């Protein structure tokens, strides 16, 4: 699939207004709903058409337009918007390092997140914050194994995701019952990761990042943050599919905070509908990040949950979005209110 030409949807409407606008030919569903878009910008390279009504799109752009209208694939995750609970089994995570380093604490916290409404749990044992210390795959798996096995036994119906870049950890986790692999390097860090996952049926999350956690802050130059992230993620999707992974297994994460400034993060958040060009469910991971602190002036990451909820709700314009957060209960409440207001 060629991502040189992109469609940027805008002018979103919801509920009854969306249905009436679609029926009148003044709007199209965004990625299968719940939103509909009334305006569109056609991008060829970095040349923009300027926003125009959807009814005015030239015939030569119908294929690209159909791409952003089509519903995303499932990603091996339950249908509908989902809240994903974060479980960091690390001593040095920026937000909660050390809190869940003991397996019994991680399991208790994970079960509480499930009770609060998490559809997925994301277990990670390697910090990927800027400048984070490196750990070996063996150390990473040693931190994960007990908690993963216990959660698999005690929460058999919950989707368990493993946040890792290393094929050794992926393989061990899948043997232990993990359902999803969440790779911040989009399968670029470990050359064995793609061929390994091609042999399985698990869901795969591909995140946008430039460089490594140690160098990513040196790679924040973009011609256009929206176009560049979508195209670079598109190449990751194409590589995964060419390597044998069924597109129906893939999800994409724009990588907030990874090789992006606060201003770029906010621009990208405002333009999430661009990600509909990729045809995959979108993961929104802004929880407690520096971008929230910069906007709110809240220095303590653990006190950034209200800002996290406000930012994460932007993702609900896209069907089946996955909101990755630390505070599951608060996010579930926010989603329910948003859905009620928008009649979805």
Q: CB within 8 A of 267, min separation 6: which ones?
A: 225, 226
Share of the chain above pLDDT 70, in %: 96
Would you place residue 199 in the very low, low, confident or very high pLDDT band (cuts 50, 70, 90)? very high
| pLDDT above 90: residue 75 | no
> Is 289 annotated as catalytic?
yes
Structural tokens at position 140: 């990473």
Do residues 42 and 63 touch, judged by C-beta distance below 8 A? no
Q: Give residue 131's pLDDT.
A: 66
**Given 210, 249, 281, 289, the catalytic residue:** 289
Catalytic residue chosen out of the listed positions 165, 260, 271, 324: 324
Specify whether 175 is catalytic.
no
The pLDDT tens digits for 164-179 are 999 999 999 999 999 9
Q: What is the pLDDT of the chain when averaged over all its residues? A: 94
pLDDT of 261 reads 96
Compute the average pLDDT of residues 297-319: 97
User: How many Cβ atoms sit within 10 Å of the Cβ of residue 214?
Assistant: 13
Residues 6+ apart with CB under 8 A from 118: 83, 84, 85, 158, 328, 332
Q: What percent of the chain has pLDDT over 90?
A: 88
Contact 315, 33 (CB under 8 A): no
Read off the pLDDT of residues 93-109 as tens digits, 9 standing for 90 and up: 555 555 656 788 999 99
pLDDT score, position 100: 59
- Give residue 194's pLDDT band: very low, low, confident or very high (50, 70, 90): very high
Spatial separation of the C-alpha atoms in residues 70 and 11, rounded to whole Å: 18
């Amino acid at each position: 699939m060629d991502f040189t030409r992109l469609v940027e949807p805008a002018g979103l409407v919801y509920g009854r207004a969306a249905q009436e606008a679609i029926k009148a030919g003044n709007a199209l569903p965004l990625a299968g709903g719940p939103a509909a878009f009334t305006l569109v910008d056609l991008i060829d390279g970095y040349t923009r058409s300027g926003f125009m009504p959807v009814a005015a799109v030239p015939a030569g752009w119908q294929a690209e337009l159909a791409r952003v209208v089509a519903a995303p694939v499932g990603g091996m995750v339950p249908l509908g918007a989902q809240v994903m609970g974060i479980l960091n089994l690390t001593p040095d995570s920026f937000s909660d390092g050390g809190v869940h380093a003991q397996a019994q604490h991680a399991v208790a916290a994970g079960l509480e997140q499930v009770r609060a409404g998490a559809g997925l749990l994301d277990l990670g044992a390697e910090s990927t914050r800027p400048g984070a210390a490196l750990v070996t795959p063996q150390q990473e798996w040693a931190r994960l194994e007990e908690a993963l096995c216990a959660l698999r036994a005690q929460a058999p119906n919950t989707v368990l995701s493993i946040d890792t870049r290393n094929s050794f950890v992926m393989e061990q986790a899948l043997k232990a019952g993990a359902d999803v692999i969440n790779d911040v390097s989009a399968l670029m860090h470990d050359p064995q990761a793609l061929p390994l996952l091609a042999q399985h049926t698990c869901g795969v999350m591909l995140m946008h990042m430039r460089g490594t956690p140690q160098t990513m802050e040196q790679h924040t130059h973009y011609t256009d943050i929206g176009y560049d992230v979508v195209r670079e993620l598109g190449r990751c999707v194409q590589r995964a599919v060419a390597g044998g992974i069924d597109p129906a297994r893939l999800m994409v994460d724009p990588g907030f905070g990874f090789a992006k400034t606060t201003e770029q993060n906010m621009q990208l958040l405002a333009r999430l509908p661009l990600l509909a060009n990729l045809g995959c469910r979108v993961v929104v991971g802004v929880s407690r990040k520096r971008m929230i602190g910069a906007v709110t002036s809240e220095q303590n990451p653990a006190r950034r949950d209200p800002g996290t909820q406000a930012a994460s709700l932007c993702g609900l314009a896209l069907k089946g979005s996955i909101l990755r957060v630390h505070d599951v209960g608060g996010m579930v409440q926010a989603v329910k209110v948003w859905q009620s207001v928008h009649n979805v």
